[in-house]
Copies of this chain bind each other. A is one copy, B any other.
Amino acid sequence: MRSVFLALALASSAAAATPFSADTLSHAQSLRQHAMSSDHAFEVVESLTTEVGPRLAGSDGDARAVAWAKARFEAMGFDHVRLEPVTIPHWERGYADARVTLPFPQPLVITALGNSVGTPEGGIEAPIVRFATLADLEAADPAEVKGKLAFIDHRMERFKDGRGYGPVVKARGQGAVAAAKKGAAGLLLRSVSTSAHRFAHTGVMRYVDGVAKIPAVAISGPDADQLTRMLQRDPKIQVKLELEAMDHGETTSYNVIGEITGQSQPEEIVLIGAHLDSWDEGTGALDDGAGVGIVTAAAGHILALKQRPARTIRVVLYAAEEIGLIGAKAYRDAHQDTLAQHYVAAEADFGAGPIYRFDTRVNEQALPAMTALQQQLAPLGVERGHNQTWGGPDVSVLPPLGVPVAGLAMDGTDYFDYHHTPDDTLDKIRPEAIQQSAAVYTLFAWLMANAEAELRPIPMPQP
C-alpha cells in the first residue's frame, strides 16, 4: 500500500510541476515515435518543388502553389481549409546581363534584386566604385560615386544560427537608395551568401520616395572577388548592365490556412506557419518548401491521432513573405479581433533543420512550463534557449500585438549557401534532418495545444 501511495503522490507531484497531463505526455511519446519514422515532411516538399517549382509571389507558380496547398490540406482532412486574399505587388525578373567591358571584357554572374527597376533600353555602361560596406558607401564623397555603379563588397560570415546575415543584408535592402543619394547609376551588391560557388543570390530591395530608382543586382562571390582583383590592377573598370525587370502592378495571392479544431478550447489558436511563396530561380526547397513540409507534416501527425488537442492548431502558409512579409501583415490585420486568442505562434523558415534549440517569448511565469516542454523535445536533441525570439519572419509581426511566440532554431550552417539561388532545390534537403524538424514541430504543436500555462503578457524590448 505504501509504495502505491508514494507512487501516486509522486505522480501527483510530477503533475503539479508540469503543465501537461499524463494523457498529453503519453500521446506526445507516440507522436514522437510516429514522426521519427515518417517521411511525410520530405514528401510534401518533394511534391511542392516538383509539381509547382518556383512560386514567386504573383506569378503563375504562386497561383499553382496556392491551389496545390488547398488541395493537399483538404485531402489531409484539415478543418476549415480556406484561402485568405492578400493584395501584393507583382514584380517579374525578365532578362538580366552584366559584363565587364573595359579593360578586361568578360561576363559576370548576376541576378536582379527583387523589386529592382530595369535599365533603360540598351542598358547602362559605367565605371564601378567599390565599397567594403554599406556604411562606407554612405560615408563616401558623392563626387566619387556620381554616374558610377556602386559596388558593395561585404562578405557574409558563416554561423550555425545565421547571425552573419543581419549585418550584410542591410546593404541589399538599402544599398540602392544609399547609392542613388550619391548619384550612382546602379548598385552591384556582393551576394549575401556563404557559398563558394558562382551563384548570385537574389532577395528583396526597397526604394524610397524622393530618391531616384536605380537598378540593383547581386553578383556572385567569385565575381565580386574578380572585380576586386581587376580594381587592384586598374581603378577604371567599366561594367555594362542590362535588366529587364517588370512591374506588373498589384495582384492577389492568398494565405492558405487549415486547422485541427480544438476539443475543449477551440477558440484558442496554436499557430504553426511557413511561407508558401519562393524566389523564382530555384524551386524554393530550403526556402521555404522545407518549412511548408515541416508544419504540414506536424499537423498531419497530430491529425492521425484519435484524440483532438484542447486548443485549435492552425497551419498558416503565408503569401508573399519574400517580397516584404505581405501575407504576414495581411494575416495580422485580418485576424486582429482574435489575436488575443492566439496562444502561441511559430514559423519554420530557415531550411530543413535539424532543430537544436527551443526559444520563446512568453511571460516569465511560464518559463518553467517552457522548460517542461523542452524536456519533451530533449530526446530529439533540442536544448532550451532564450526568451527573446521573434518566432520567424512572418510571425514576428505578432508579438508587438501581444502574441507569445516560439522559435525552433534550425541548424543553418549551410542555409546561406543556397538561399535565394537557382541552387535551392530538393536535393539540398537531408531527409533525416527534415524528419527531425517535423517531429519537433509535432511535439511543440501538440504540447502547446494542451498546455496548462498562461503565456501572457509577453516581455517586449523597451524602445
- Write the residues of chain A forming the contact surface with B, with a CB cutoff of 8 angstroms: 46, 49-54, 60-61, 100, 104-107, 109, 196-199, 221-222, 225-226, 229-230, 233, 281-283, 421-423, 425-428
**Could you tell me if B51 and A226 are in contact, using CB atoms closer than 8 angstroms?**
no
Give every chain B residue within 8 A of A426 (Cβ-Cβ). Answer: 222, 225-226, 229
Taking CB as reference atom, which chain B residue is nearest A107? Answer: B54
Task: Given A105-B60, A106-B61, A106-B283, verify A427-B225 contact (CB < 8 Å).
Answer: yes
Give every chain B residue within 8 A of A49 (Cβ-Cβ). Answer: 226
Closest CB in chain B relative to A88 CB, distance in Å: 20
**Could you tell me if B105 and A61 are in contact, using CB atoms closer than 8 angstroms?**
yes
**Could you tell me if B104 and A51 are in contact, using CB atoms closer than 8 angstroms?**
yes
Give every chain B residue within 8 A of A230 (Cβ-Cβ). Answer: 50
Q: How many copies does the complex hold?
A: 2
**Could you tell me if A50 and B226 are in contact, using CB atoms closer than 8 angstroms?**
yes
**Could you tell me if B425 and A222 are in contact, using CB atoms closer than 8 angstroms?**
yes
**Could you tell me if A233 and B51 are in contact, using CB atoms closer than 8 angstroms?**
yes
Closest CB in chain B relative to A289 CB, distance in Å: 13
Q: Which of A109, A197, A423 has the most CB of B within 10 A?
A: A197
Known: A53-B106, A198-B423. 19 other contacts (CB 8 A): A49-B226, A50-B233, A51-B233, A52-B104, A52-B106, A53-B104, A54-B107, A61-B105, A61-B106, A196-B427, A196-B428, A197-B423, A198-B421, A198-B422, A198-B425, A222-B425, A225-B427, A226-B283, A226-B426
Give the docked Cα–Cα distance between A427 and B155 (Å). Answer: 15
Give every chain B residue within 8 A of A100 (Cβ-Cβ). Answer: 53
Give the docked Cα–Cα distance between A403 and B3 (Å). Answer: 94
Give the docked Cα–Cα distance between A229 and B285 (Å). Answer: 14
Give the docked Cα–Cα distance between A106 and B49 (Å). Answer: 10
Taking CB as reference atom, which chain B residue is nearest A229? Answer: B50
Give the docked Cα–Cα distance between A52 and B104 (Å). Answer: 6
Give every chain B residue within 8 A of A199 (Cβ-Cβ). Answer: 197-198
Q: Which of A52, A230, A425 has the most CB of B within 10 A?
A: A425
**Could you tell me if A104 and B222 are in contact, using CB atoms closer than 8 angstroms?**
no
Complex A-B, nearest 3 residue pairs according to Cβ-Cβ distance, in ascending order: A53-B106, A198-B423, A222-B425
Taking CB as reference atom, which chain B residue is nearest A196? Answer: B427
Taking CB as reference atom, which chain B residue is nearest A54? Answer: B106
Closest CB in chain B relative to A427 CB, distance in Å: 5
**Could you tell me if B427 and A222 are in contact, using CB atoms closer than 8 angstroms?**
yes
Closest CB in chain B relative to A293 CB, distance in Å: 15
Give every chain B residue within 8 A of A104 (Cβ-Cβ). Answer: 50-53
Give every chain B residue within 8 A of A233 (Cβ-Cβ). Answer: 50-51
- 11 A-B pairs in the complex with CB atoms less than 8 angstroms apart: A51-B104, A53-B100, A53-B105, A106-B283, A109-B422, A197-B199, A197-B423, A198-B282, A198-B425, A222-B423, A222-B426
Give every chain B residue within 8 A of A425 (Cβ-Cβ). Answer: 198, 222, 226
Give the docked Cα–Cα distance between A233 and B51 (Å). Answer: 9
Q: Which of A51, A221, A225, A428 has the most CB of B within 10 A?
A: A51
Give the docked Cα–Cα distance between A281 and B109 (Å). Answer: 9
